[in-house]
Amino acid sequence: PVQVKKICCIGAGYVGGPTCAVIALKCPHIQVTIVDLNKARVDAWNSPDFAVPIYEPGLVDVVKQCRGRNLFFSTDVDKAILEADLIFVSVNTPTKKSGVGAGFAADLNYVESATRRIAAVATSSKIVVEKSTVPCRTAESMRTILEANSRPGTRFDILSNPEFLAEGTAIADLFKPDRVLIGSLQTTEGKEACRALADVYANWVPQERILTVGLWSSELSKLAANAMLAQRISSINALSAICEATGANIDEVSHAVGFDSRIGPKFLRASVGFGGSCFQKDILNLVYLSESLHLPQVAAYWRQVVEMNEYQKSRFSKTVVDTLFNTITGKHIAVLGFAFKADTGDTRESAAISLIRDFLSERAFVTIYDPQVSEEQIWQDLSEACPTTPLETIKKQVTIVHSALEACTQKEAIIIATEWKEFLEIDWQTVYANMSKPAFVFDGRLLIDADKLRKIGFKVKVIGRGERV
Ligand code: NAD
Ligand code: UDX
């Protein structure tokens, strides 16, 4: 029976980094090497002062315990492949920007190059684990590529082991996962490889939480889980529009609905729209898959989850414009939060980007504060969001500052776009004193105590609440 002693992880990103760092922590007898072509990223993982490239609570602590012991970061992809018994492929799979399936299908180029590299370099048998989120049956393509290019006597077993961690809670999720899912071919060799990976997780995950299924079920379950989570948010956001129109309160509705044990209370928080690198991408991937399988009704069903999210974002921007007397041209707006959720510096598909793009197209002046996102990242995201506007022009309309208080000073409206806890500590009395009047606050995250702010004098609009400002 195969016993995993050396692991290589290709891709040192949001998934590969934390996942394999936790494997190294929990399995001191396994040597884990995380490789990436991006040298700056690898250097950051290796930095002497632990300035790791992603912000994730608890991550530095894990890296401190294992780096140099049984956890290594390197750009030497080939060496790590050569030495490993098991290789995670944890590269990015963004939505395709051009060609067939543009805007929907996953770009599998990075998965394919990593797979080809494994085939070209390996001189002994390997278990190759698909960790990236991929369309159903990608493992089949990986197997074909590996088998067509392998040396005599080398065998490759392919497993699917999708990752369910959420950013901001990655370490807690990895320490105590709801489940670990492993898909394999139902052959003797496939099951053997599956057991070898299950044994790695069994070092800290209870047996009953390690689910083993067929390859295609595993791949599809990942897309299904993300689609169903996002669907809950779109459902509650659709209801938030009804609340605003009727005077119902979305918090009360979520609470009442979530009390049904069949529905459950989690993931029913109305917001300005879901963001992040996964939900939209994975649903579009599912839509594309459904269309390729000639299932147009299924495709339309899932597509609506993304459309509702787009509607929610634009509906929020429109509320801001409408409330500010139908024009924000030349007005000064503070946007608090730029990351797609709290406790991460990640901005991929962040709702804040769509809002700011809308405000800029109305020719408002926008001041942004986020505790974790770098200025460089904000400029890059805004340039991509406004491709026809030169960055110099954007910079005339946008200011980035380093505290919430600074952002709010002398503004006509404040928008809460990310639910950072520190926004709860804002001294609203001082903010109010320094704002132009009437002073508006728009809460896109159900974060603030609206009544308290109204007592100070603010006009407050909260997503999913019908009250007058
Ligand atoms: P990422 O962009 O942060 O990291 C991917 C890394 O892979 C990059 O650093 C890139 O340089 C590297 N890479 C690409 N091709 C390579 C190659 N051929 N050789 C070596 N390195 C290569 O992406 P991520 O957020 O970590 O996501 C990775 C996968 O995991 C995606 O498929 C994603 O859908 C999935 N996923 C992400 C999350 C999440 O929360 N971010 C959660 C679950 C699953
Ligand atoms: C998600 C899945 O949760 C995770 O299992 C998968 O592995 C990757 O995709 P992530 O995108 O990191 O994780 O964060 P998540 O907590 O799911 O939040 C996604 C977006 O939904 C955020 O913008 C968040 O603010 C929003 N959200 C979440 C809501 O608007 N309401 C909710 O009730 C929950």
Q: Which atom of ligand 1 is found nearest the CA of 93?
A: 32
Ligand 2 proximity of 276 Cβ (cutoff 6 Å): yes
Ligand 2 proximity of 268 Cβ (cutoff 6 Å): yes
| Contact between residue 409 and residue 286 where contact means Cβ atoms under 8 Å apart | no
How far apart are the C-alpha atoms of 20 and 34, rounded to whole Å?
A: 7
pLDDT recorded at residue 1:
73
How far apart are the C-alpha atoms of 397 and 386, rounded to whole Å?
A: 12
Ligand 1 proximity of 42 Cβ (cutoff 6 Å): no
Say yes or no to pLDDT of 325 above 70. yes
Confidence of residue 468 (pLDDT cuts 50, 70, 90): low
Say yes or no to pLDDT of 12 above 60. yes
Ligand 1 proximity of 174 Cβ (cutoff 6 Å): no
Spot the catalytic one: 136, 243, 278, 386.
Answer: 278
For 31-82, write each residue's pLDDT tens digit. 999 999 999 999 999 999 999 999 999 999 999 999 999 999 999 999 999 9
Q: Which atom of ligand 1 is found nearest the CA of 170?
A: 40
For 160-212, write each residue's pLDDT tens digit. 999 999 999 999 999 999 999 999 999 999 999 999 999 999 999 999 999 99
Q: Which ligand approaches the C-alpha of residue 75 most closely?
A: 1
What is the strand order of the sheet 398-400 is part of?
398-400, 365-369, 332-336, 413-416, 440-443, 459-462
**Mean pLDDT value across residues 335-356:** 97
CA distances from residue 433 to 52, 182, 404, 449 in whole angstroms, order as listed = 40, 57, 15, 18
Say yes or no to pLDDT of 469 above 60. no
Sequence-distant (6+) residues with CB within 8 A of 176 are none
Q: How far is the CA of 389 from the centre of ligand 2 (A)?
A: 30
Ligand 1 proximity of 54 Cβ (cutoff 6 Å): no
Q: How far is the CA of 190 from the centre of ligand 1 (A)?
A: 25
For 115-164, write each residue's pLDDT tens digit. 999 999 999 999 999 999 999 889 999 999 999 998 998 999 999 999 99
* Cα separation of the two ends of the chain: 67
Q: Which atom of ligand 2 is found nearest the CA of 346?
A: 12
Q: How far is the CA of 275 from the centre of ligand 2 (A)?
A: 7
Ligand 2 proximity of 164 Cβ (cutoff 6 Å): yes
Catalytic residue check, 20: no
For 257-303, write each residue's pLDDT tens digit. 999 999 999 999 999 999 999 999 999 999 999 999 999 999 999 99
Sequence-distant (6+) residues with CB within 8 A of 169 are 57, 343
ipTM above 0.95, yes or no: yes
Ligand 1 proximity of 132 Cβ (cutoff 6 Å): yes
Closest residue by CA, ligand 1 atom 17: 114
Ligand 2 proximity of 275 Cβ (cutoff 6 Å): yes
What is the strand order of the sheet 210-214 is part of?
71-74, 31-35, 6-10, 86-89, 126-130, 156-160, 180-184, 210-214
Enter the pTM of the model: 0.96
Say yes or no to pLDDT of 396 above 90. yes
Q: How far is the CA of 26 from the centre of ligand 1 (A)?
A: 22
Ligand 2 proximity of 30 Cβ (cutoff 6 Å): no
Write down all domains in the chain, each with its CATH number in brackets.
Answer: 6-205 (3.40.50.720), 216-469 (3.40.50.720)
Q: Which ligand approaches the C-alpha of residue 115 most closely?
A: 1
Closest residue by CA, ligand 1 atom 41: 14
Q: What is the mean pLDDT of the chain?
A: 96
Ligand 1 proximity of 161 Cβ (cutoff 6 Å): no
Mutate to test the pocket of ligand 1, among 10, 36, 178 (most ligand atoms within 8 A of CB): 36
Closest residue by CA, ligand 1 atom 18: 114
Closest residue by CA, ligand 2 atom 34: 267
Q: Which ligand approaches the C-alpha of residue 162 most closely?
A: 1
